[in-house]
Amino acid sequence: MCTSQAEWVTHSPEETKALAARLAARLCVGDVLTLEGDLGAGKTTFSQGLARGLGIADPIDSPTFTLIKEYHEGRIPLYHMDAYRLEGEPEELGWDEYFEGAGICLVEWASRIEHWLPEGRIAILIRRLDENSRHIQVRVPPEFGERLLKGLSVT
């Protein structure tokens, strides 16, 4: 797939959240974001910023034990999904209903449900550089580049 991409280095959890919140302001119904990164990279931190940017006041934590958590009080519904503990056939969980639903999907451990993911997703990769620094890469389909990436900055 052809993509546009942008990358940043953040120097604190707050900067990562601020970047995510700025991205959130540009999201539309139907957007599917995937979040990849090692344990402690900052996936949950990024998710918290994204939720804040959507106007969700509820604290966001990892949906690992529930697979999917829904948040409805923001500008657009947020479906926070985590495929880490996935067992059995993915279709039993009705992923498609979420991917085609009325909200934004934020998927952790997306590689486990790779072939269920729609085309045209927003791929976020977080890499730890040192204790307080993270490299954050966002890849989007080229037709989303202007809407999602143009002028997007950490602060």
Residue 49 touching ligand ADP (CB under 6 A) = no
Q: Which of 42, 40, 38 is nearest to 17 (CA)?
A: 42
Residue 16: contacted member of ligand ADP, Mg ion, none (CB under 5 to 8 Å, by partner type): ligand ADP
Question: Strands 133-140 and 122-130, how do they pair?
Answer: antiparallel
Residue 63 touching ligand ADP (CB under 6 A) = no
Tell me how far apart the alpha carbons of residues 64 and 87 are, in angstroms, rounded to a whole number. 12
Q: Are 69 and 93 in contact (CB under 8 A)?
A: no
| CB 134, min distance to ligand ADP, A | 4
Q: For residue 8, with 0-12 CB atoms within 10 Å meaning exposed, 13-18 middle and 19 or more buried, which class applies?
A: middle
| Closer Cβ to Mg ion, 23 or 44, answer by number | 44
Piece of 24-32, 36-44, 84-92, 109-117 that binds Mg ion (CB under 5 A): 36-44
Would you give the binding string for Mg ion spanning residues 53-92, x where CB under 5 A is met? ---------x------------------------------
Would you give the binding string for ligand ADP spanning residues 17-46, x where CB under 6 A is met? --------------------x-xxxxxxx-
Residue number closest to ligand ADP, CB atom: 42
Tell me how far apart the alpha carbons of residues 121 and 141 are, in angstroms, rounded to a whole number. 7
CA 81 to chain centre: 9
Distances (CA, A) of 83 to 80, 97, 138: 10, 15, 20
Q: Which amino acid is at 57?
A: A
Q: Which residues would be at the binding site for Mg ion (CB under 5 A)?
A: 43-44, 62
Q: Which residues would be at the binding site for ligand ADP (CB under 6 A)?
A: 10-13, 15-16, 37, 39-45, 132-134
